[in-house]
Amino acid sequence: MRATEAQMMSFESAIQQYRMRTERLPGSLEALTRTDERDPYPFMKSIPRDPWGNAYEYERTGEETYRIRSLGEDGVRDTDDDILWPKDAYD
């Protein structure tokens, strides 16, 4: 679980940088890896998978809020082992 939370903290940092630069949340985690003329360096080089090999789920839940989810070891959504971020919003 620590590795998952460490990855999620990296996402949070990149999302904050993206928001500061663009004044909005990214539409997807993959948006953090894109470059263009204005931003020649990505906020993240790649989007890792969680420690169980699953893709992280990213969802904008509002204009200024988002949720990142790891499906956990069982790989099934909405079960007890799911890990959500930002953590304080779901504790």
Measured CA to CA, the distance from residue 61 to residue 1 in angstroms comes to 23
How does pLDDT run across 37-90, given as a tens digit for each residue?
887 899 999 999 999 999 999 999 999 999 999 999 999 999 999 999 987 655
| Cα 90 to chain centroid, rounded | 15
* Short-list 31, 29, 37, CA closest to 54: 29
Contact between 46 and 55 (Cβ < 8 Å)? no
How does pLDDT run across 22-42, given as a tens digit for each residue?
999 999 999 999 998 887 899
Tokens 């360096």 sit on residue: 41
* Short-list 41, 40, 43, CA closest to 11: 43
